[in-house]
Amino acid sequence: MRSSVYLSSKPIIPHHRIRAHTFPCHRTLSSATSAAGSDKNKTVGDHFLDNLGKIFLSGIGLIIGSLVRSSYSTSDKTALRTKTEVISALDPFEIDDLRVANDELTPDVFRLIIERFEQLGYLGHGEHRIQYEEFVSIVMNTMKGIKNDGFTIQLGHLIDRVIVDILKKETEHTDGKLDILLLLTALSLCLHSSVKDRVAILFELMQKYDSDNVNHDSENNDSEGNNHPRVKLEYVQKMIGNLQKTCQLVPDAQIIETTTKYPYQTHRIGTPEELVGMGQVMKKDELSDKACSTKDDCYWNCQDFHHLLRSRSVCAWGECYVKTRSLD
């Protein structure tokens, strides 16, 4: 009797409750084993499909980021080009007006002006710096001596504007004097000639500027025995700098990339040395061997100089937009 009471006093757990306590644990273990097995059986394609949404969104994000970065870079370059055009002392239309108005200032007349400065000792071994007022006086007197008092520079106030702008930016010298090569380069804005003749005049200026640095080697002779002297790289760089200062280079050509590439590419105005260096690379197939050698032994002829002016890194007077390969 006592035994039956004892047995009956224990709580009796129903059969369905026992299954409820035991089977869930068994079910969890089996599902984990099944999941592990299914992961092992997945291929690369399965993983790709499982994460297709994430990959798609990441790709869209990269494309949007690239477009935004490109937009900022383009805006930076456009802003710099606009600023360069705004602060330029002359615009292309005014340069055209100068050439049209001075139709009597031909290459022959310009060479006589150069010859006069050479006689006065400002070219060659003499003093290369001169006051602008004195420069103008010599030019005017030379022109009057060629024809008459009526022969003068037309629209001369435009040249004055260029020189005043240069004097404002001058920091190396404060005596009011400017380099004769720079002044004659500014005067070439009035030169009424073909592009080929204008290039020849500028090249002759470099030759006459310092005759000690001109190469007259016999290897520069043409098939007829005529010698075509070359000038040193430093004078080519100097002339490109003068063209840059006198508004004769296209703004786009002067803009180069900086070392700042993130978060977006920034830009700045290149130095004459940088522009010439880039032009050497761009025109390496057209330049002679001496024009592409080291700086200490780098001599340029007139054709090399003309090819450089046509390069995208210099583009004097918009010459880089000329489609023909001929220099004529």
For 214-243, the pLDDT digits (tens) are 666 656 655 565 667 889 999 999 999 999
Residue 6 belongs to a domain: no
Closest by CA position to 138, among listed 97, 180, 166, 107: 180
Residue 237 belongs to a domain: yes
Q: Is the dihedral of CA 182, 186, 192, 196 positive or negative?
A: positive
Give the amino acid at 73.
S
The whole-angstrom separation of Cα 269 and Cα 111 is: 32
Lowest mean pLDDT among 157-166, 169-178, 270-279: 169-178
Angle, vertex CA 296, rays to CA 294 and CA 302, nearest 5: 80
- Cβ atoms of 129 and 180 within 8 Å: the answer is yes
Report the pLDDT averaged over residues 176-185: 94
Residue 49 belongs to a domain: no
| pLDDT greater at residue 44 or residue 84 | 84
- 145-150 long-range contacts (CB < 8 A, ≥24 apart) are 146/109, 146/112, 147/104
Residue 31 belongs to a domain: no
Model confidence at 24: pLDDT above 70: no
Domain that holds residue 76: 71-214+226-321
Residue 10 belongs to a domain: no
Identify the pLDDT of residue 1.
Answer: 46
- Cβ atoms of 275 and 253 within 8 Å: the answer is yes
Total count of domains within the chain: 1
Residue 55 belongs to a domain: no
What percentage of the chain's residues is helix, strand, coil (to nearest 5)?
Answer: 65, 5, 30
Residue 103 belongs to a domain: yes
Closest by CA position to 135, among listed 125, 123, 146: 123
pLDDT digits (tens, 9 = 90+) for 39-65: 566 676 666 677 777 777 888 878 887
pLDDT digits (tens, 9 = 90+) for 182-198: 999 999 999 999 999 99
Report the pLDDT averaged over residues 170-178: 80
Model confidence at 256: pLDDT above 60: yes
pLDDT band at 97 (very low <50, low <70, confident <90, very high): very high
Closest by CA position to 174, among listed 238, 114, 129: 129
Closest by CA position to 151, among listed 111, 183, 193, 105: 105
Residue 327 belongs to a domain: no
Residue with tokens 């007139």: 302
Question: What percentage of the chain has pLDDT greater than the value 70?
Answer: 77
